[in-house]
Amino acid sequence: MTQDSIFLNSIIYLTAAVVSVPIAKKAGLGSVLGYLLAGIIIGPHALHLVGNEGAEIMHFAEFGVVIMLFLIGLELHPSMLWQMKRQIFGLGGLQIGITASIITVLSAFFWLNLTQAVTTGLILAISSTAIVLQTLSEKGLLKTQAGQHSFSVLLMQDISVIPILSIIALLAGEAASSGDLIVTENVVAHEGWQKFLIIIAIVAFIIIAGRFFAHYLFRFIAETKMREIFTATALLMIISITLAMNYVGLSPALGTFIAGVVLANSEYRHELENNLEPFKGLLLGLFFISVGANIDFILLKNNLLTIVFILSLLIITKLIVLYILGRAFKLNYSQNMLFTFSLAQSGEFAFVLISFATQNGIYDSFTSGVLLIVVALSMLITPLLFIINEKWIQPKLAKIDAKPPEDIIDNETNPVIIAGFGRFGMVLGRFLVANGIKATIIDNNPHNIDYLRKFGYKVYYGDITNANTLKSAGAEEAKILVITMNDRNQIDSLVNVAKRNHPHLKLIVRGIDIAHALELKNKGVDAVKQETFGSAVSLGIEALKNLDFNSYQAQRAANTFKHLGQQLMDKLQQRYSPDDPHFVMETKKFSEHLENILLMQQKHPIQDMDCAWDPESLIEEAKEHHLKQNKNEN
């Protein structure tokens, strides 16, 4: 491809995405359907903006699935994964086994020979990780019971792609290979046990490196404060794992998933998520577009009835199997319907497996063409199935299920988020912890984090001014966001992001100076304190005490001073108008020029103002009274 054609293609794909996805989302269809439709529109059968290179792009875009599995791994702690073992192996295994068997029988009954039938059963049993997880997380359903069950099944399917490849190779009766990114047959020409050892070694390497060394690497990179290098490191890591997995013939998605799980406890988790999220999103989008673009509408038109029949048979079979299994695994009706309708399609692995089987002579070009269309259409109608479930089925089930489905609540949903955990934030954090209040802490200085983690604080490294980080820190569930960062711009942008995305959050902010505090107050933050004011006055108390002030006298002087400061703030606040350049200049001048503050104080010296308990006037009066009495007596 020449440079120009790369740019031209980029424009076509990006325009398609930018135009169709927002429209699809507005129409309530979800982004996946938007991408698929965009693909169909730009594909060879509609506008013909892209031609046959669509298939190549699809293989490249499958890398998005690899990144997605890594990100999902990041969300799963190893202990959570262990708790899910029954769902992964039991539910997932049964789903693949039963669905594959039924489809095999049906295929053999209608038209295929036994080899073809078994192959077809195995291929079509697998669902689409990309569509299902993307849709579930978009709808915020990933953490529901149905979401977790769906995820377990998809994970098991992903694992079983490797044995399925072997089975197909075996059925074809000859060794074969494919140069695909997602799955490759063993390219290491070793004996079985040697290969097994190499696999164990590589997986062990990923786990050990992730558990013990990644931490140092990420900190080293993060300290450079170069975001793009952090992103580059994350991508480098994932691509390396992908290649290593390809080398030993394991699924790269599985490899990066393991890496993600290993890094789930890392303090750099949020940062990794934020850096990789856009890549995942774009690549998945590209993948969906290419699926849409690759649907062969001529073949579809010529065999419409056959294809619709096969498609219906596939979807109905899957729905029935999933429904029964969901009930057997004790999902309630509403959750079970979500689970059932989520997984009723065939997935992206089918494209790979079908071409692999065709290369091995199992399918003729007609059969493979028909199957490819069936798979693509099943993906295309998945968003529609979600809509049917939401609009028609769930409302009716609401009455049957006595109580609503319980969400699996993330255990890091604390009522308080502290943004910025330097010396200032640390005192505040200790204060809250001492009062039994749990806080999620985000800081963008890796040094602080190491130090604090040693003392058992749960601190994350990340740029919280990023809307996604704020969200993943639990902003939806939190009540209060305490901002103790020391960079004025960062404070401002976090206040803006929080106000825009999470209006329910109470904002407690440390302002830099008077002008900043005023500005924040007018943005509607709930409380603001100047960062140095309190401690400066406290130190002033000590100074006074060493100048022969009594402790209590010094304390009152400080209280008075603070009170006056607050009064001044309130006065300025009333006059505040951000549009009046005069006022803005005044306050700025005020905060910048000490002179003004000093002038103000000269007018109101605190010593003279505090008349509390002063008996002078009383003594004066008593003396007058006494004189008068003496006069009278005389």
Partner 1 sequence: MNRILILFAHPLQQKSRINAQMIKSIEGLENVTINNLYNNYPDFFIDVNKEQDLLTQHDLIIWHHPFYWYSAPSILKEWFDLVLEHGFAFGKNGGELKGKTCMNVITTGARKETYTYNGFNRYPLNAFMIPFEQSAHLCQMNYLPPYAVHGSHLLDDNEVNSIARQYKADIIKLRDYDIPCSNFKKFEYSNDAISQLMP
- Contact positions toward partner 1, by CB under 8 A? 541, 549-556, 612-616, 618-619, 622-623, 626
Task: Give 532 or 629: the residue with its C-beta nearer to partner 1.
Answer: 629
**8-state DSSP, 126:** -
CB-count burial class (<10 Å; 0-12, 13-18, 19+) for 360: buried
CB of 234 to partner 1, least distance (A): 50
Task: Give 301 or 563: the residue with its C-beta nearer to partner 1.
Answer: 563
Q: Where is 54: in which H helix or E strand?
A: helix 54-61
Alpha carbons 358 and 369: distance in angstroms, whole number = 10
CB of 537 to partner 1, least distance (A): 13
Alpha carbons 314 and 277: distance in angstroms, whole number = 33
Task: Give 574 or 617: the residue with its C-beta nearer to partner 1.
Answer: 617
Question: By C-alpha distance, which of 543, 539, 540, 487 is closest to 516?
Answer: 487
Task: Give 584 or 606: the residue with its C-beta nearer to partner 1.
Answer: 606
Alpha carbons 318 and 303: distance in angstroms, whole number = 22
Residue with tokens 């029954």: 86
Task: Give 538 or 577: the residue with its C-beta nearer to partner 1.
Answer: 538
Q: At what angle do helices 551-575 and 514-523 cross, to 10 degrees?
A: 60
**8-state DSSP, 476:** T
CB of 626 to partner 1, least distance (A): 6
Please check whether residue 128 is in contact with residue 58, taking contact to mean a CB–CB distance below 8 angstroms. Answer: no
For the record, the structure tokens of 529 come out as 């304190």
Q: Give CA angle at 226 (222, 228), nearest 5°.
A: 105
Task: Give 89 or 549: the residue with its C-beta nearer to partner 1.
Answer: 549
Please check whether residue 244 is in contact with residue 255, taking contact to mean a CB–CB distance below 8 angstroms. Answer: yes
Question: By C-alpha distance, which of 553, 511, 555 is closest to 533?
Answer: 511
Task: Give 455 or 613: the residue with its C-beta nearer to partner 1.
Answer: 613
CB of 601 to partner 1, least distance (A): 21
Task: Give 137 or 553: the residue with its C-beta nearer to partner 1.
Answer: 553
Please check whether residue 272 is in contact with residue 263, taking contact to mean a CB–CB distance below 8 angstroms. Answer: yes
Alpha carbons 89 and 620: distance in angstroms, whole number = 93
- Residue 119's CB: how many other CB atoms inside 10 A? 29
Give me the DSSP letters along 287-339: HHHHHHHT--HHHHHHTHHHHHHHHHHHHHHHHHHHHHHHHHTT--HHHHHHH
CB of 610 to partner 1, least distance (A): 9
CB of 539 to partner 1, least distance (A): 15
CB of 628 to partner 1, least distance (A): 13
Task: Give 598 or 612: the residue with its C-beta nearer to partner 1.
Answer: 612
CB of 545 to partner 1, least distance (A): 9
Task: Give 86 or 626: the residue with its C-beta nearer to partner 1.
Answer: 626
Helix (H, G, I), strand (E, B) or coil at 565: helix
Rg (CA), the chain: 33
CB of 549 to partner 1, least distance (A): 8
Alpha carbons 530 and 528: distance in angstroms, whole number = 7
CB of 272 to partner 1, least distance (A): 46
Task: Give 82 or 613: the residue with its C-beta nearer to partner 1.
Answer: 613
Alpha carbons 463 and 275: distance in angstroms, whole number = 11
CB of 607 to partner 1, least distance (A): 10
Q: Give CA angle at 325 (321, 329), nearest 5°.
A: 170
CB of 551 to partner 1, least distance (A): 4
Q: What amino acid occupies position 536?
A: A
Beta bridge partners of 161: none
Task: Give 174 or 616: the residue with its C-beta nearer to partner 1.
Answer: 616
